[in-house]
Copies of this chain bind each other. A is one copy, B any other.
Amino acid sequence: MSRPREFDADLALRRCMEVFWTKGFHATSYEDLTRTTQVKKQSLYGVFKNKRELFLKSLALYREENLSVLEKRMACETSPVRRLEAICEAALYADDEARIRGCLIINTSLEFGNGDADINREIGQMMERTEGMIEQAIRDGQAEGAITSRLGSRELALHLSNAINGAKMMEKSGISREEILGVLRTSIALIEA
């Protein structure tokens, strides 16, 4: 019926996501996107209406991939405290290039403030779901007495989630992974019973 698309839209989206991740939304130009995807502007345009839509799709892709990695990592661990440690370890990237990029969600949250409703929704989803996972692990830990019951599971979850956000920030400033992980381990150690 019509001429078939010559490029893989999913792959192109992934490449775009990586550029946004590295440079941020405003700083990436169409030139950047066309260069790394090898897809001309108008073709990209045909699939994703404009830069903003492309970015929103990138955010969603990042979120889903990140959360699925997180879920897998947690499923491997049996003890609640180990699960919390696994979340912290998964939150921080291992290779240096990724570490300097930091977390796309955090970067975006800072870049946009709370001005953009669609962006906010995307970020909120990511936060809520990770907070939920943390809270579940904490509840389990409290049930078996490994984690303090002096404070409620939600408060403790917010405390840890906040610490992770701080760590994701620090990640970008070139501090070593071990140093940052040490801070997070302290934050975990403080909530153990």
A contact set with B: CB distance below 8 Å:
24, 26-27, 100, 102, 106-107, 109-111, 113-114, 120, 123, 151, 155-156, 158-159, 162-167, 169-170, 172-174, 182-183, 186-187, 189-191
Residues of chain B contacted by A155 (CB below 8 angstroms):
182-183, 186
Residues of chain B contacted by A24 (CB below 8 angstroms):
111
Residues of chain B contacted by A110 (CB below 8 angstroms):
102, 106-107, 110-111, 169, 172
**A170 and B110 alpha carbons, distance in the complex (Å):** 9
**A190 and B111 alpha carbons, distance in the complex (Å):** 31
- 27 CB < 8 A contacts A-B: A26-B26, A26-B27, A100-B113, A100-B114, A102-B113, A106-B110, A106-B169, A109-B169, A109-B172, A110-B169, A111-B111, A113-B172, A114-B172, A151-B189, A156-B186, A158-B183, A159-B187, A162-B163, A162-B167, A162-B170, A162-B187, A163-B163, A163-B166, A165-B166, A165-B170, A166-B169, A187-B187
Q: How many copies does the complex hold?
A: 2
How far in angstroms is the closest Cβ of chain B from A141?
A: 14
**A27 and B189 alpha carbons, distance in the complex (Å):** 41
Residues of chain B contacted by A166 (CB below 8 angstroms):
162-167, 169
Residue of B nearest to A180 (CB): B162
CB pair B191–A120 under 8 Å, yes or no, is no
Residues of chain B contacted by A187 (CB below 8 angstroms):
159, 162-163, 187
Identify 17 new A-B residue pairs, CB closer than 8 A, beyond the known A102-B113, A110-B110, A159-B187: A26-B26, A100-B113, A109-B169, A109-B172, A114-B173, A114-B174, A151-B186, A158-B183, A159-B186, A162-B183, A163-B187, A164-B166, A165-B166, A166-B166, A166-B167, A166-B169, A187-B187
